[in-house]
Amino acid sequence: MMLNDYSRQGLIDGRGLRLPVVVVRPGAPNKALTTCWSSVVRDPLSNKDVSIPVPADSRMPVASYQIVVRALEQMMNTVSSEELGFDKMLTLPAVSASPRELYDAAARLAAERDLPIGKLHEELDPVATRVVQGMGSQVDGDRALGLGILQDESVDSIVRSYADDFVFGGVELEDIEVI
């Protein structure tokens, strides 16, 4: 609301982008319930088994970190205030995906590259399950798509992008500067 109001008053040239769950995050998992959407790709592709606290068929809107960065760049550099109109907020288009679908995409990639892959296990936590089931499983990013904001093609494209950078690409976490 403040973003829209301050923009309307001419105090700022505001714009915002609502983000879905960003996957696949490299490095150690964090404490967020949604971290398992990254863990089911990252760990098995490192030939480690992974246990998740929610049902493997739970769905969340997800986007790759590459698409998130590109979309933020687009919002700053190519989408004008006039195109946004009064509502300066967009929702990033996302793929609705389950941990199982992401794991299966990682398994397909591992098979294609003849790599070992860790196993996926459910160790259900009733509280975590209830919280995740109360979250939205998809988002409406049509307005952003209409303005040319990019979207991931599929869970396979998300997994392949991660693997190209961190499994096959040789990027080490130590090479990444955290700001």
CATH code for the domain of 71: 3.40.50.720
Per-residue pLDDT tens, the chain, 179 aa: give them: 788 788 788 887 788 999 999 999 888 888 888 999 999 999 999 999 999 999 999 999 999 999 999 999 999 999 998 999 889 899 999 999 999 999 999 999 999 999 999 999 999 999 999 999 999 999 999 999 999 999 999 999 999 999 999 998 765 555 555 44
Q: Is residue 22 part of a domain?
A: yes
pTM, to two decimals:
0.88
Asked whether residue 174 is assigned to any structural domain, the reply reads: no
pLDDT of residue 178: 47
Q: Quick one: pLDDT at residue 31?
A: 86
Kindly give the pairing relationship between strand 60-64 and strand 95-97. Answer: antiparallel
* CA-closest candidate to residue 99, choices 142, 42, 139, 30: 42
- Which of 17, 19, 58 lies closest to 37, judged by CA? 58
Which residues constitute the domain of residue 26? 17-167
Within a domain: residue 142?
A: yes
Q: Is residue 4 part of a domain?
A: no
Number of domain units in the chain = 1
In a domain, residue 179? The reply is no
| C-alpha to C-alpha distance for 137 and 167, rounded to whole angstroms | 28
